[in-house]
Amino acid sequence: MPALTAKAPAKLILLGEHAVVYGYPALAVPVASRWLRATMQARIKPANSGLTVSAPQLDIECPFEALPELHPIKAAVIVTLRHLGIQRLPSANLNIQANFPFSSGLGSSASLAVAVIRVFSAFLGHSITNPELNTLAYQVETSAHGTPSGVDNSVVSYNQPIWFIKGAQPTPLQPGANFHFLIADSGIKKSTAASVGELARRHDEDSTFIDECFKKIAGLTRLGRQAFQSGEIQRFGELMNENQEQLAKLGLSCPELDRLNAAALKSGAFGAKLTGGGLGGFMVALSPTAETVPFKKALIEAGAQQVIDVPVLKNPEGDSHE
Give contact residues for ligand MEV (rule: CB under 6 A): 13, 17-18, 20-21, 107, 148-149, 151-152, 192, 196, 276-277
Q: How far is the CB of 177 from ligand MEV (least distance, A)?
A: 25
Q: How far is the CB of 4 from ligand MEV (least distance, A)?
A: 28
Largest CA distance in the chain: 62
The length of the chain is 322
Residue 39 or 104 having the CB closest to ligand MEV? 104
Residue 13 or 38 having the CB closest to ligand MEV? 13
Q: How far is the CB of 147 from ligand MEV (least distance, A)?
A: 7
Q: How far is the CB of 170 from ligand MEV (least distance, A)?
A: 12
Residue 191 or 229 having the CB closest to ligand MEV? 191
The total of other beta-carbon atoms located within 10 Å of residue 98's CB is: 23
Q: How far is the CB of 14 from ligand MEV (least distance, A)?
A: 12
Residue 153 or 178 having the CB closest to ligand MEV? 153
Residue 273 or 296 having the CB closest to ligand MEV? 273
Q: How far is the CB of 233 from ligand MEV (least distance, A)?
A: 23
Q: Is the dihedral of CA 157, 158, 164, 167 positive or negative?
A: negative
Residue 115 or 233 having the CB closest to ligand MEV? 115
Q: How far is CA 284 from CA 101, 106, 276, in A?
A: 15, 11, 10
Residue 198 or 258 having the CB closest to ligand MEV? 198
Residue 126 or 166 having the CB closest to ligand MEV? 166
Q: In the 3-class helix/strand/coil scheme, how is the chain assigned residue by residue?
A: CCCEEEEEEEEEEEECCCHHHHCCCEEEEEEEEEEEEEEEEECCCCCCCCEEEEEHHHCEEEEHHHCCCCCHHHHHHHHHHHHHCCCCCCCEEEEEEECCCCCCCCCHHHHHHHHHHHHHHHHCCCCCCHHHHHHHHHHHHHHHHCCCCCHHHHHHHHCCCEEECCCCCCEECCCCCCEEEEEEECCCCCCHHHHHHHHHHHHHHCHHHHHHHHHHHHHHHHHHHHHHHHCCHHHHHHHHHHHHHHHHHCCCCCHHHHHHHHHHHHCCCCEEEECCCCCCCEEEEEECCCCCHHHHHHHHHCCCCCEEEEEECCCCCCCCCC
Q: How far is the CB of 172 from ligand MEV (least distance, A)?
A: 18
Q: How far is the CB of 52 from ligand MEV (least distance, A)?
A: 30
The total of other beta-carbon atoms located within 10 Å of residue 300's CB is: 15
Q: How far is the CB of 106 from ligand MEV (least distance, A)?
A: 8
Residue 23 or 56 having the CB closest to ligand MEV? 23
